Chain A
Amino acid sequence: TQLLEQSPQFLSIQEGENLTVYCNSSSVFSSLQWYRQEPGEGPVLLVTVVTGGEVKKLKRLTFQFGDARKDSSLHITAAQPGDTGLYLCAGEDIVGNEKLTFGTGTRLTIIP
């Protein structure tokens, strides 16, 4: 069974600060995605990374896929209250059968 561990589990920071969330596994994934979820709603896809070492930027969010495709990070610059939510990473099985293994989640709170 593939597992994706996210750290930290909870993070509360002041508006304007920078932060990094990590997603780690002992398994290799063919691709990895990040989602953000608001309370009482379904997750919303933010990005997909597919190549080892790949870096993608989405405004103030920077996503990186590890060289070995076993881990990923999400870095937020100058956090804003709108960034508050549950961040989930999800890895696609190396076989490419389009089933996702979801991480344990990071609950982020940005304090105005």
Chain B
Amino acid sequence: SQTIHQWPATLVQPVGSPLSLECTVEGTSNPNLYWYRQAAGRGLQLLFYSVGIGQISSEVPQNLSASRPQDRQFILSSKKLLLSDSGFYLCAWSPGQGPEQYFGPGTRLTVT
């Protein structure tokens, strides 16, 4: 069966520091991968998605970037965090044969 991992689970970082969040998927190959951000108790905003290694599409202009160095690895980064980057970051995968997406446990980021 497929599983998706995210780490760290929680992170507190000062303004201006760098960021690296990692997501890995097991049990599947060539998945579509997604990064979302969620404001407290609200819907999800799509940040990036990828249909293959090195193929990244950005949905919103922002302080963040994404990379996919391996088939089942998706990384969310920032060179300098802003207060507004605080939130709950979710990684998701889909098999690419339908709309269903499967989410990781999320990372709670607090920028101080």
Q: List 28 A-B contacts (CB under 8 A).
A: A4-B43, A6-B43, A33-B100, A40-B106, A40-B108, A41-B106, A42-B90, A42-B92, A42-B104, A43-B90, A48-B98, A48-B99, A88-B43, A90-B44, A90-B99, A96-B99, A98-B32, A98-B94, A98-B98, A99-B46, A99-B49, A101-B46, A102-B36, A102-B43, A102-B45, A103-B43, A104-B43, A107-B41
Chain B contacts to A: CB under 8 angstroms: 32, 36, 41-46, 49, 90, 92, 94, 96, 98-106, 108
Pick the residue among B43, B90, B99 that contacts A33 (CB under 8 A). B99
Across-interface contacts of B90 in A (CB, < 8 A)? 42-43
| Contact-residue size bin, chain A (C-beta under 8 Å from the other chain) | 20 to 34
**Can you list the 10 inter-chain pairs with the closest CB atoms, starting with the nearest?**
A42-B103, A92-B99, A102-B43, A102-B44, A104-B43, A105-B43, A31-B99, A43-B103, A42-B106, A105-B42
A104 touches B49 (CB 8 A): no
Chain B contacts of A96 at CB under 8 A? 99
